[in-house]
């Protein structure tokens, strides 16, 4: 049988006619490598370049994002799992565009160029190569986010058309790469040097877990030998899929680690940490703030337009120090649409999966069909609107349940959620006092937009949402001045259950900043017992009960851990175990798995009865 070794990535799979390699995306045909699903794209939309993320190339500029499905790696805890593992490359949600049509889209949208991200361009190399070559000929810039597992042959083909790249490093050892399904790190280091030598603008991103700091320190030292000017983006690990929650480093530990790395590298940034100053560009010579950014969803940032910024000769506005930033900053910011631009799309798909999994759907194909309907019908904007209020969330849940053929189970789940809301409403009829509540994400000065579900839950639980008094902006929120937080004077502060923080670290930072609110003075700072309890998943009902108990303990004396056990057993068929939670909206535990068989009916949990003996209540 005739065969050929694939020359696109360093796995160099054996291809034969009708039998693809490990990624499933290429085959040998008529003596050459061809794409099995050429010219199909899941996403084509404008984004700001920091969404990739790229921070030192034409800051704030608008680029056209292109995304497909699939990957040549299989990384544990992948944030893009819904794209690279769960959605098929022949899904009807993918649309056919030629390279010419993609480039025309970018020009019509007044984009500076085209970027490939979210899944790896090595999974769609031939179509990306055609786009890159045509884009350059039309005067557009070209970039991508990649694991950089190129062969010398494929990199030689792409490099003449590539202006910038974010290389996602998996660590700094063969073992780190073997965990992703490939044999060694050597090809990536070779390609890093080749790209740098060719003058391609490089930024490096790496995941920081609680157990790989020493390895990333070695990575930073290697990068510094190549050039201390290369930006290093530290991605604080968010445990999705089967990743354990205890792998997630705290915000304080991650910031301390970035400070250590800045002794070797001029520019070290921290992502997945709302409110962190480590998203900003400061002059390494004098410390002057040059470019200010805000958190903009997982793996993303958003530039705040600078008053001065970088001069034409790339010198700091406060000293003669050189700043290696390519091209001018944008003069206007681009605002992506709901769930558009980078990784928020994957969270939207997770939310749909969360609804269906809580209805007892264990079959991946059922969930994928729901994703395809949303993407084909342009329903992301409607989904974003509906998930922001408990009762419209329930309506959306019922719609998806009916479409998935599990209408009865959807109605059982909807009835349970509605009954719990009524239970809280009845307990809080005519409360004497409604506490003033501020909802933060990550750090004290980053607030969640008032229209989001978290703040609707605050009011449903008998509180007054101070976030609704603040101007909306960003995604999912923005920073506010210290004086404004002190003027709001919240009695209670809740920390987001998604991108969260340790309560003691949060309190310490409040004290260091000078937050004088009653919530800080009285140590009334709370976080939910588990992620997914205040946004994204039907588990928000547990967050509602938790907040109601915090706000009105004499009226709402719930045992929240008992309520969690009822919910998990009733709708997931498993026990609630804090040891098995992670940051996924959809999967209820890190050991939950798809079952490719008929969905198992979810049990209908019993109506809440009398409260259990308080002497036997678990701490919550």
Banded model confidence at residue 609, pLDDT cuts 50, 70, 90: very low
Q: What is 284-335 written as a DSSP string?
A: TTT--EEEEEEE-STT-EEEEPPSS---TT-B-SSSS-B---BSPPPSS---
Look at residue 583 and tell me whether its pLDDT is greater than 70.
yes
CATH code of 343-620, in short, is: 3.40.50.1980
3-class secondary-structure state, position 110: coil
Residue, of 20 and 438, whose pLDDT is higher: 438
% of the chain exceeding 90 in pLDDT:
78
pLDDT of residue 280: 96
Average pLDDT for 137-159: 98
The rounded distance, in Å, linking the Cα atoms of 13 and 41 is 24
Look at residue 177 and tell me whether its pLDDT is greater than 90.
yes
pLDDT of residue 620: 26
3-class secondary-structure state, position 26: strand
Look at residue 607 and tell me whether its pLDDT is greater than 70.
no
Look at residue 1 and tell me whether its pLDDT is greater than 70.
no
Residue, of 2 and 75, whose pLDDT is higher: 75
Average pLDDT for 551-570: 96
SS (H, E, C) 86-133: HCCCCCCCCEECCHHHHHHHHHHCCCCEEEECCCCHHHHHHHHHHHHH
> Taking all residues of the chain, what is their mean pLDDT, rounded to a whole number?
92
Look at residue 606 and tell me whether its pLDDT is greater than 70.
no
Checking DSSP bridges between strand 525-527 and strand 492-495, what pairing results, if any? parallel
Look at residue 306 and tell me whether its pLDDT is greater than 90.
no
pLDDT of residue 85: 79
% of the chain exceeding 70 in pLDDT:
95
The rounded distance, in Å, linking the Cα atoms of 564 and 529 is 10
Residue spans of the domains in the chain: they are 37-304, 343-620
Banded model confidence at residue 312, pLDDT cuts 50, 70, 90: confident
Q: How remote is the C-alpha of 152 from its chain's centroid?
A: 31
What is this structure's pTM?
Answer: 0.93
pLDDT of residue 619: 28
Look at residue 80 and tell me whether its pLDDT is greater than 70.
yes
3-class secondary-structure state, position 391: helix
pLDDT of residue 190: 98
**37-304, which class in CATH?**
alpha beta
pLDDT of residue 3: 66
Q: How remote is the C-alpha of 526 from its chain's centroid?
A: 23
8 A C-beta contact, residue 525 and residue 503: yes
pLDDT of residue 443: 97
């Amino acid at each position: 049988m005739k065969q050929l070794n694939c020359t696109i990535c360093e796995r160099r799979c054996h291809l034969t006619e009708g039998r693809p390699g490990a990624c499933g995306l290429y085959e040998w045909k008529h003596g050459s490598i061809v794409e099995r699903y050429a010219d199909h794209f899941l996403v084509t939309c404008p984004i700001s370049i920091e969404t990739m993320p790229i921070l030192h190339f034409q800051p704030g500029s608008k680029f056209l994002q292109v995304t497909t499905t699939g990957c040549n790696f299989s990384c544990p805890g992948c944030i893009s799992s819904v794209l690279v593992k769960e959605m098929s490359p022949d899904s009807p949600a993918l649309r056919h565009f030629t390279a010419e049509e993609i480039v025309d889209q970018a020009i019509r949208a007044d984009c500076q160029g085209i970027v490939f991200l979210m899944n790896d361009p090595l999974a769609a190399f031939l179509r990306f190569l055609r786009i890159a070559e045509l884009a350059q000929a039309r005067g557009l810039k070209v970039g991508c986010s990649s694991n950089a597992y190129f062969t010398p042959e494929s990199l030689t083909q792409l490099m003449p058309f590539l202006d910038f790249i974010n290389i996602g490093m998996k660590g700094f050892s063969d073992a780190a790469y073997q965990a992703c399904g490939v044999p060694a790190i050597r090809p990536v280091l070779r390609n890093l040097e080749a790209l740098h030598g060719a003058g391609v603008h490089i930024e490096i991103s790496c995941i920081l877990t609680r157990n790989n700091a020493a390895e990333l320190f070695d990575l930073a030292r290697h990068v510094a030998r190549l050039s201390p000017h290369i930006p290093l983006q530290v991605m604080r690990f968010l445990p999705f899929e089967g990743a354990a929650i205890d792998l997630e480093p705290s915000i304080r530990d991650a910031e301390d680690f970035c400070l250590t790395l800045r002794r070797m590298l001029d520019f070290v940034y921290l992502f997945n940490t709302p409110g962190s100053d480590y998203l900003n560009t400061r002059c390494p010579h004098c410390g002057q703030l040059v470019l200010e950014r805000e958190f903009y969803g997982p793996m993303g940032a958003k530039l705040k337009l600078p008053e001065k910024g970088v001069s034409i000769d790339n010198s700091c506005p406060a000293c003669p120090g050189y700043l290696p930033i390519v091209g001018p900053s944008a003069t206007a910011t681009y605002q992506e649409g709901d769930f558009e631009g980078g990784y928020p799309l994957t969270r939207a798909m997770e939310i749909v999966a969360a609804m269906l999994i809580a209805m007892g759907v264990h079959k991946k194909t059922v969930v994928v069909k729901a994703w395809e309907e949303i993407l084909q019908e342009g329903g992301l904007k409607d989904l974003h609107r509906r998930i922001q209020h408990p009762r419209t969330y329930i309506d959306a849940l019922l719609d998806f349940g009916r479409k998935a053929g599990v209408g009865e189970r959807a109605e059982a789940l909807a009835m349970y959620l509605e009954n719990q809301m009524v239970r809280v409403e009845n307990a809080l009829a005519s409360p004497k006092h409604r506490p003033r509540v501020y909802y933060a994400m990550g750090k004290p000065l980053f607030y969640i937009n008032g229209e989001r579900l978290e703040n609707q839950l605050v009011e449903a639980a008998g509180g007054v949402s101070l976030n609704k008094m603040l101007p909306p902006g960003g995604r999912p929120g923005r920073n506010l001045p210290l004086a404004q937080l002190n003027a709001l004077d919240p009695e209670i502060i809740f920390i987001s259950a998604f991108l969260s923080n340790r309560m003691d670290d949060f309190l310490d930072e409040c004290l260091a900043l000078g937050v004088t609110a009653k919530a800080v003075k009285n140590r009334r700072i709370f976080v939910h017992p588990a992620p997914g309890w205040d946004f994204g998943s039907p588990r928000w009902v547990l967050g509602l009960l938790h907040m109601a108990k915090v706000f009105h303990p004499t009226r709402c004396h719930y045992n929240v851990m008992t309520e969690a056990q009822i919910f998990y057993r009733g709708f997931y068929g498993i026990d609630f175990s804090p040891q098995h939670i992670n940051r996924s909206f959809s999967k209820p535990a890190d050991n939950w798995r798809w079952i490719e068989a008929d969905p198992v009916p979810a049990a209908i949990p019993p109506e809440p009865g009398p409260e259990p003996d308080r002497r036997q209540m678990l701490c919550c």
